[in-house]
Structure 1
Amino acid sequence: MRTHLRMSAAAASALLALSTLTACGGDSSAEGSGGTVKIMVGGLDKVIYLPAMLTQKLGYFAEEGVDVQLLTEPAGVQATTSLVSGDVQGVVGFYDHTLDLQVKGKQVESVVQLSHAPGEVEVVSEKAAAGLTSPKDFKGKKLGVTGLGSSTDFLTKYLAVNDGVSTDEFSTVAVGAGQTFISALQQGSIEGGMTTDPTVAQILDKKLGKVLIDMRTPEGSKQALGGPYPSSSLYMNTDWVNGHRETVQKLANAMVKTLRWMASHSPEEIAAKMPADYAQGGKELYAQSIRSTLPMFTTDGVMPADGPETVERVLKAFNPNLKNAKVDLEKTYTTEFVKKAG
């Protein structure tokens, strides 16, 4: 069993400064300060990770009797670092990190699969649009990603190599999401990049860029990546899951309930439940960004058939660490908890 590291006071303060806290009922089987389960999200205000905050706002964690603290980092790769270091017990981020971590000797698994498409969009600036019409044109370009080693970085590299452009023929630039991404696009420090809603909706509304590749739907995922691409998920260290099965079941129950609620409510109703400051472009634009991204979400938290195989194929196309590695896909996810969710 892995022993979780205790955060120093300074580290705790830094994380809490970024955090959004929910003080729900206690659960003595949970690990962390006061029985709290800490979950790091790769951008709480991103629509692709909306179910995490929505579960809190709907009170479903509280109904299950589990005390959850939601923390935020701007990129999924940073969230993964927090999990590996033991600062948090779970991550809401992209499933593809479970494969990457396995070949690095870390056993992590998705316990709730929130999506069956990436929810990502490759956008190009208005100035560069004429000369950037497909991934074949990535050569020589500077393309924005949330962080180096992030899932946006992974997908950008796949799109390039799949269209005959090697990863050393263009540059990926870590620009985060939201206003930092928009500013980079405006200032010309990137000519395009991969991001999600609500950033996409704001770029289109301000006429700063155009959509080059849209992977917010299963159809868009199949066209760009050749199949379903499970992305947003709740993943945790396998040792922790095995040692805290009751707590994991409660988390799965809460999040599956949220996915079902989302499937039966309008984008406007969903937006109304979220923190007001998430709608930086206005309520209508925020609701539109949710509408555009809703097709990516599952309704039951179950890993889509053939999804892990698609992710493995995509990663092996450009990642030298995975290219010749043996990946045990069955150890990268479990459907045990979501199938028991009431």
Structure 2
Amino acid sequence: MTTRQYLAACFLFAIFTCVPLTGLAQGKGETVKFQDYPGSGNMLIRIAASKGYCEKFGIKCQLQMIPSGALGAQALLAKSIDVGFFPPETQILAINKGANLKAIFSGATQNIFLIAIRQDLEAPNADKGFPAFMADLKGKKIGVTARGAASEITFSFLLQKAGLKAEDVNYFAVGAPNTAYSALISKQIDAIINFEPSGVLCELLRTCKVIWRGSTSPQPPETYAANGASSNNVARQEYLDQNPHVAQAIIKAVLEAEAFIQNPANFDEAVKIALSYFKFDLPNSEALMIATMKQAVPAYKASISRQALKAIAEHLYQTRQIEAPFDTRLLVYEKAP
């Protein structure tokens, strides 16, 4: 082969191999609808949309406020959104009912749930940690994001680990942090299991008390093991099959968003982006968002811990939330980080 023939062959190889691979990671102007939440919400997508990372990879990212994982899963299955943002527990239960869903990236790797009680609630064991404080909640009204949601599943698991039963409390759906907090301080309920900024609201305003955070409490070990895959961005397998290039574009966009938000120099700008999507209906809205972001930034990562998924599925099985061991390979998109 002559030098000219060799160079021509290399050129053709580049065209027919390298270029298509690049194209697979580039959208074609598709609009992708993502689930968002009150508070800091689906922050990696907020960053990706605001900083132009979505457009960079050929997609338009839109966010739709849906206050719970269970409702997000319903919207996803109804095709009113393209990507839901909810815990693996919700995804596993949906798959066991026949849904075909895949997590394409995380977005909130640390356990998102916390328990807060009314400031005036008689709780002598509140400072003793788990499982002691669970006895104080027996017979109480517990606010969950939605009935049957991962928040209720988690609280029922905590009851079981403490030697109690789900029937020992009364569950009420109170929605996302803003409405859950209002229900708590107005004494409609005695305690909530919710996500940030519920805890930040309690601590900054001194109106309620956080007694457990899943992200930092080592007990019980089953919930602590969920750190690494606490809440993930999930799409329908059908959507991924039809739009593999969009899936790759999403992943590339959120990896750039992760790099941005994990850089401490960008914290102030990230807060401004968060506030552009949601503001607390309180006088010190900016201070609340700053405190929320300080709590949450370490969890804003795209990678999904496969080991954490196994731990979550195992505790669902051990607590008989599911009837058989679950193969967690069914949860994750093949090219997910």
Give the alignment's TM-score, normalised by structure 1: 0.80
The amino acid that maps onto 1:40 is: Q
Please show how residues 161-200 of structure 1 align to structure 2 within 5 Å: 161-200=160-199
Paired residue type of 2:175: G
Q: Which residue number corresponds to residue 117 of structure 1?
A: 110
- The corresponding residue for 1:285 is 288
Partner of 1:271: 271
- Structure 2 residue identity aligned to 1:59: G
1:224–1:103 CA distance, 2 compared to 1 (3 A)? closer
Q: Is the 8 A contact 2:53 2:257 kept in 1?
A: yes
2:6 matched residue in structure 1? none
1:152 equivalent in structure 2? 151
Corresponding residue number in structure 2 for 1:239: 238
Question: 1:186/1:202 Cα in 2 relative to 1: closer, same or farther (>3 Å)?
Answer: same
Cα displacement (A) at 1:124: 0.9
Report the Cα offset of residue 130 of structure 1: 2.3
Residue 292 (structure 1) shift: 1.3
Superposed displacement of residue 277, structure 1: 6.4
Q: How does 1:45-84 map to 2 (within 5 A)?
A: 45-47=38-40, 49-84=42-77
Q: How many angstroms apart in 1 are the aligned matches of 2:288 and 2:75? A: 32
CA contact (8 A) 2:275 2:289 kept: no
Q: Which runs of 5+ in 2 are unaligned?
A: 1-25, 127-132
* Residue matched to 2:314: 313
Task: Describe the superposition over 1:71-94 as per-residue Cα deviations: whole angstroms up to 9, x where unpaired.
Answer: 111111111001112222211222
Shift of 1:193: 0.8
What per-residue deviation string (whole Å, max 9, x for no partner) do you get for residues 91-149 of structure 1?
12223222111111111111102233222211111111525622233321111111112
Is the Cα contact below 8 Å between 1:48 and 1:293 reproduced in 2? no
- Mark the CA change 1:61 to 1:201 in structure 2 (over 3 Å): closer, same or farther: same
SS at match of 1:247: helix
SS at structure 2 position matched to 1:105: coil
Alpha-carbon distance in 2 for matches of 1:337, 1:77 = 22
**2:223 aligns with one of 215, 222, 225:** 225
Matched-pair identity in %: 16
> For the residues of structure 1 that align with 2:198 and 2:149, how far apart are their CA atoms?
17
Compared CA separation, residues 221 and 38, structure 1 to 2 (3 A): farther
Higher deviation after alignment, 52-61 or 219-228 = 219-228
> Is the contact between residue 95 and residue 235 of structure 1 (CA under 8 Å) also seen in structure 2?
no
Contact 2:145 2:173 in 1 (8 A): yes
Equivalent residue pairs, number:
301
Task: Give the whole-Å Cα distance in 1 for the aligned partners of 2:57 and 2:111.
Answer: 29
1:170/1:73 Cα in 2 relative to 1: closer, same or farther (>3 Å)? Answer: same
* C-alpha RMSD over aligned residues: 2.3
**CA contact under 8 A between 2:82 and 2:236: conserved in structure 1?**
yes
Q: Which has more radius of gyration? A: 2
Which of 66-75 and 260-269 deviates more? 260-269
1:166-202 CA distances to partner (integer Å, 9 max, x unpaired)?
A: 1111112111123321221122121111122223212
SS at structure 2 position matched to 1:36: strand
SS at match of 2:123: helix
Pairwise CA distance, 1:249: 0.3
The change in CA–CA distance for 1:109 and 1:222 in structure 2 (over 3 A counts) is farther
Q: Which AA in structure 2 matches 1:50? A: M
For residue 42 of structure 2, give the secondary structure of its aligned residue in structure 1: helix
- Residue 319 of structure 1 and its aligned partner are, at CA, apart by 4.8
Q: Which amino acid aligns with 2:223?
A: L
Residue equivalent to 1:19: none
Residues 185 and 208 of structure 1 are in contact (CA less than 8 Å); yes or no, is this contact kept in structure 2? no
Question: Which residues of structure 1 form unaligned runs of 5+?
Answer: 1-25
Aligned to 1:254: 253
- CA 1:287–1:335 in structure 2 vs 1: closer, same or farther (change >3 Å)? farther
Does the CA-based 8 Å contact 2:103-2:336 persist in structure 1?
Answer: no
CA, structure 1 residues 239+50, in 2 after alignment: closer, same or farther (shift >3 Å)?
Answer: same
Number of the residue aligned with 1:16: none
Is contact 2:262-2:298 (8 Å) kept? no
Closer, same or farther in 2 for the Cα pair 1:278/1:68, shift >3 Å? Answer: closer
Give the distance between the partners of 1:221 and 1:61, measured in 2 at CA: 39
Q: Tell me which of 79, 89, 95 is aligned to 1:86.
A: 79
53-62 or 245-254, which deviates more: 53-62
Q: Conserved in 2, the CA contact under 8 Å of 1:227 and 1:307?
A: yes
Q: Does 1:126 align with 2:126?
A: no
CA contact (8 A) 2:214 2:224 kept: no
In structure 1, distance between residues paired with 2:40 and 2:89: 18
- Tell me which of 37, 40, 62 is aligned to 2:35: 40
SS in 2 for 1:47: coil
Which residue in the other structure is 2:18 paired with? none
| Shift in Å, 1:46 | 3.0
d(CA) in 2 for partners of 1:248, 1:157: 35
CA distance in 1, matches of 2:326, 2:150: 18
Q: Does structure 2 conserve the Cα–Cα contact (< 8 Å) formed by 1:112 and 1:302? A: yes
Asked if the contact 2:35–2:42 (Cα under 8 Å) also holds between the matched residues in 1, the reply is no
User: For residue 201 of structure 2, what is the aligned residue in structure 1?
Assistant: 202
